[in-house]
Structure 1
């Protein structure tokens, strides 16, 4: 499927001498503005930056503006993500055209953005008319100072970035520049206050704050996923590092979030974020090696930590009292003074589990969460699924071996080749990371149920929902001899799979081979057997994400997959009817969840694989 195409034209600044702090665009002939202001660097540092650094900053702002100004189709995926992937044709004037027009540079830029965002950017570079102008329009200069940073860190105001800054200062005795991006006014004071806390403990010579404001002007904001935002972050960090004559920038984020294996955030296929994914950081490093003469390493020192490890690090370094001042919630715009965390998003759930696992909940007051992790009802279907899936996935990770990890989550291989270890070693270390995360979450759930019975929690709360799911799975596994259920549940169909002949046989009554439906069922049957091999309860058998399933079937898009599934259901209903089986049951063999993907309905089939001679 060809993605929607959008044309971007960069407009000249309102003043040639700078000062308007805005990147002005036209996207499909509609005006879009991106306000960009970088504070607290001194003019002498900025004066030493090369032209291509300013070009890079404007390119990043244009990419961010395009990403934010063009909708991906909204949260209701009614057409299987038809608008999710986009194509942007960008006409970009630059100061150093000879550099940006090089095929190797353009290719690296476009490939990096493709991996990060799922969008195709195609750049055409032209020469700026006034290359000496506009060099400082985005900077709000600080007083001249001889202070120099030893390290440049991206500082969001969350637990992970705070722990990273704390370790660099307290343990490594580094002077750090904290580069903070904010678009919402509620986050800026959080970042400032945490910076003041670090100064208060270690002194001003160890820490400087470089706040960066990036905002869409007027009503330009149409898309909130911001998948390209980390490219802008990395550029801001790299330019700051270049100004301080450093060649390393660090994002600090725990490895479970960095990997973000697709089920972790309950997203379909490409919706999983790749902000600090190992391949993203490798691509940034490779691209910046072209831009900056001495190269620029972009890394994540916390990759081998879990969220619980991160929280314990803050405690170990004596900054417990400032945990409550950090922010993790994804729903920034709906924060209130009373509830600074929504308690519903995966970030809030992850944070609260880590606090419970580390035994530090007294430093993270529950009243700060609009929905308490254990004691409040989750009324929305999506809210319930986010919380339940978080726990289920963690329990899957707890005992996962490297071999099962590779087979069940092949996306992990996207990371393995971009770590500083041999592939087999990296896979083992990732499995250990996920084991520790799973054990941490499972321990919290065990402690919760040891202290209270599940039925004592409110209807719709996480413990109650989880208890209900476990009870249903148990009842499904134990036949009721006293009284059959009313109405009786249909018996599971025996689905035999002959992969060599590409043949499917259902209850010895329906047979077909070497057609589109057979190929689809073979893929889903393989996934079903994976769930059995992991010893999972049937209701926890894994889903295969739409993007992965489409790739396995060599389909061009999620939309093509959706049509394939619809035709398969229709075909199965027809074959069931002609074989004397219940037609409706044929259409129920393939189950899908809008947030997780496709699988064989675990209560409708039993898969048997025909062994090859």
Structure 2
């Protein structure tokens, strides 16, 4: 039970014990929440229900970071990733929040975004809007009306959205930004001023609201922040209502919005759902109920790839501003004087490759902005798997012939189809087309990257365990795995090829890619006929990580399905002995 806002915990029999208390405020509170420059921009102060919504979202955001999922080294699947969070929160409109359909909408939105389970109970409070200390009036009243309210992260997509609205379409925006740390907000302000200066002639200057939402020092124990988009949808929705609008805009490219898992390790809420079509629909339903009038949450870029957005930015004459954006998810690790991009996370990889696919150059995306080179920086472990699967999953789409086959290959896509506002069959065709265009863009990016690194390629100085090293097929043999014997002249021989990430026998081949499934099969192939303990598999496949037993079992299940689909049915994995597996092969020999 997480008790918030100084409330007394419930006394009903069977109530879980209080495990954490959360309060908003600089003095003694764990949650720091401030809205700079807001009071002078809105027509009226937020209603009691709107203040309740903001505070509920802030408490959920705080709890998301104080209840651990197991730490950064834990690899797990399914239910063990999920938490059950129970809140007891004081509210001004207990009549509203006690309604079952409102609580259900709140829970549904959060559970889809975070993959956790939620329970809420509410108690009445007498706090008034005038008592709220986090609404700060830092500027004078703003003249004129706003055409739209949009969230503004300071990343590439939000820049494209701001330029499209202000410089291309001549709309007056109210941009809402999160202030996680001061140096991030300083970059957001600088980018906002640059966008404002480039607004179309005759368009009123846009406005910018900075929202501080973070925990007091030493409070956070987890950093997944899957509920962050919920907090900022709540804040942005309230601001939009206060300036007389009934819509909030998230600007994010359709590939990241859909965010299909690129590997079996990215399932459920770990594949971020910030602007997933279903997430936006659930948020819109909740906000409509709280505001007691229809409210929409939309993503105007849901059918565009990032490369296409950058091409449009360049065509509009504003691609030079891209150098001032930051896409990296690791804002906590950014330090003064160092490049703002880690070069290792999925957003950095996507940004670098999208810039290449769009035909832009170093002036638009300076190499010095990356602490690690995305293309030729040496990687290992999860970082290496991420780049292989990011590019590999995109390029795999070229081999898929139809929307039906694509949906079968990516079953997660079915979660989105009915939320696009189109007939599901039409939505499936458009999603497939979007992913094909993204695949084409990644192909262009790879070709251009190879061309730019031709001297390193000829000189054989590209690190084998790098993105380009993987593309060139120069990945070294995994530790402990003997090299494959070739050529494959014996049709009965089982060949495990670490240079191509394949397993083949009797003229049939199964391509795994640089995945945990491949390394698991490779380790088993070293001990055909013998039982291999889970600890030996952990050492070979997940070195330095205490992988859960379920993780090993799930990876084995994935490998079995892959082999059967490729026709290698003679490979049989026996798991009848607890915490052990044995590979048995029907009438085949193993290349050693």
Q: State the TM-score, normalizing by the size of structure 1.
A: 0.76
Bigger CA drift: 118-127 or 404-413? 118-127
Instruction: Give 3-state SS (helix, strand or coil) of 2:82's partner.
Output: coil
Indicate the SS of the match to 2:341: coil
Partner of 1:59: 56
- The C-alpha deviation readout for 1:168-215, integer Å capped at 9, x for no partner, is 112221110000112122210111011110122227823110111111
Quick check: 1:8–1:28 contact (8 Å CA) kept in 2? yes
* Deviation of the 1:27 alpha carbon: 4.8
- 2:114 matched to which residue of 1? 117
Instruction: Kindly report which structure 2 residues correspond to 1:471-482, keeping only aligned pairs within 5 A, or say none.
Output: 480=487
Q: Distance in 2 between matches of 1:46 and 1:121?
A: 34
Structure-to-structure mapping, 1:591-610, within 5 angstroms: 598=555, 599-600=558-559, 607=567
Counterpart in the other structure of 2:357: 357
Q: In 2, distance between residues paired with 1:94 and 1:102? A: 13
Deviations 1:266-296 (A, max 9, x none): 6244311110000000001111111113322
Judge conservation of contact 1:153–1:251 (CA < 8 Å) in 2: yes
Query: How far apart are residue 7 of structure 1 and its match?
Result: 2.9
**In 1, Cα distance between equivalents of 2:414 and 2:75:** 30
The aligned residue for residue 10 of structure 1 is 5
Q: How many residues align?
A: 517
- Matched-pair contact (CA < 8 Å) for 2:77–2:267: no
Q: State whether residues 85 and 119 of structure 2, in contact with CA within 8 Å, keep that contact through their aligned partners in structure 1.
A: yes
**Cα separation, 2, equivalents of 1:608 and 1:387:** 27
Does the 8 Å CA contact 1:491/1:604 hold for their aligned counterparts?
A: no
Q: In the aligned structure 2, how far is the partner of 1:306 from the partner of 1:358?
A: 10
Over residues 328-368 of structure 1, what are the superposed CA-to-partner deviations in whole Å (9 max), with x where a residue is unaligned?
Answer: 01121222323111111111110000111112123111121
Write the distance in 1 (CA, Å) between the matches of 2:352 and 2:509: 26
Would you say 1:465 and 2:470 are equivalent positions? yes
Measure, in 1, the Cα distance between the counterparts of 2:391 and 2:451.
17
Alignment of 1:430-445 (within 5 A): 430-445=431-446
2:131 alignment partner in structure 1:
134
Over residues 195-249 of structure 1, what are the superposed CA-to-partner deviations in whole Å (9 max), with x where a residue is unaligned? 1101222278231101111110121111111001100010111011011000111
Question: Separation in 2 of the partners of 1:44 and 1:208?
Answer: 8
- CA 586–146 in structure 1, closer or farther in 2 if over 3 Å, else same: closer
1:299-314 to structure 2, matched below 5 A, reads 299-314=298-313
Give deviations 1:359-415, integer Å, cap 9, x for gaps.
21231111211111223322x322211111111111112343311211111110000
CA distance 1:78–1:172, shift in 2 (3 Å): closer
**1 CA distance for matches of 2:567 and 2:108?**
40
Match 2:31 to one of 25, 31, 34: 34
Q: Distance in 1 between matches of 2:355 and 2:271?
A: 24
Give the secondary structure class of the aligned counterpart of 1:352: helix
CA contact (8 A) 2:160 2:309 kept: yes
- Contact between 1:37 and 1:140, CA under 8 Å: does it hold in 2? no
Cα pair distance change 1:346/1:481, threshold 3 Å = closer
**How far apart, in 1, do the equivalents of 2:488 and 2:114 lie?**
54
- Give distance in 1, aligned partners of 2:98 and 2:207: 36
Name the SS of the counterpart of 2:351 in structure 1: helix
- Decide whether the 8 Å contact of 2:160 with 2:310 is kept in 1: yes
In 2, the alpha carbon distance for the partners of 1:112 and 1:403 equals: 28
**Partner of 1:140: helix, strand, or coil?**
coil
Q: Give SS of 2:244's match.
A: coil
Any idea what the Cα deviations from partners look like across 1:93-118, whole Å, max 9, x if unmatched? 11111111111111111111111111
Q: Contact 1:8 / 1:88 at 8 angstroms: preserved in 2?
A: no
Alignment of 1:82-97 (within 5 A): 84-97=81-94
Report the counterpart of residue 559 of structure 1 in structure 2. none
State whether residues 304 and 434 of structure 2, in contact with CA within 8 Å, keep that contact through their aligned partners in structure 1.
Answer: yes
Change in Cα spacing, 1:456 to 1:29, as seen in structure 2 (3 Å) is: closer
Verify the 8 A CA contact 1:160 1:310 in the aligned structure 2.
yes
TM-fit CA distance, 1:10: 2.4
Please point out which of 144, 148, 165 is paired with 1:147: 144
Q: Determine the C-alpha separation between the residues in 2 that align with 1:30 and 1:184.
A: 21
RMSD: 3.8
- CA gap 1:431/1:481 in 2 versus in 1, 3 angstroms: closer
1:547 alignment counterpart: none
Aligned to 1:516: none
Q: Hey, what's the Cα distance between the residues in 1 that align with 2:562 and 2:407?
A: 26
Give the secondary-structure state (helix, strand or coil) at the position aligned to 1:392: helix
Do the aligned residues in 2 keep the contact of 1:41 with 1:140 (CA within 8 Å)? yes
The Cα shift of 1:584 comes to 3.7
Aligned to 2:256: 257
**Are 1:539 and 2:531 matched, yes or no?**
no
Corresponding residue number in structure 1 for 2:529 = 582
CA 1:536–1:27 in structure 2 vs 1: closer, same or farther (change >3 Å)?
Answer: farther
TM-score, L = length of structure 2: 0.78
Residue 609 (structure 1) shift: 8.3
Instruction: Tell me if the contact between 2:465 and 2:475 (Cα under 8 Å) persists in the aligned partners.
Output: no
- Which deviates the most, 182-191 or 280-289? 182-191
Residues 9, 27 of structure 1: 8 Å contact kept: no
CA distance in structure 1 between the partners assigned to 2:432 and 2:258 by the alignment:
11
Shift of 1:80: 4.8
Q: Does 1:248 align with 2:266?
A: no
Stretches of structure 2 lacking an aligned partner (at least 5 in a row): 8-17, 24-28, 478-482, 497-501, 571-592
Alpha carbons 1:398, 1:437 under 8 Å: kept: no
Which of residues 105, 108, 113 in structure 2 aligns to 1:108? Answer: 105
Q: Distance in 2 between matches of 1:481 and 1:88?
A: 55
Q: Deviations over 1:69-110 (max 9, x none)?
A: 111111222665765322222111111111111111111111
Structure 1, residues 286-324: CA drift from partner, whole Å, max 9, x if none? Answer: 111111133221010011111101211221221122111
Change (3 A) 1:424 1:79: closer
Query: How do 1:218-229 and structure 2 match up within 5 A?
Result: 218-229=217-228
Deviation at 1:434, TM superposition (A): 0.6
Distance 1:127 1:198 in 2: 43
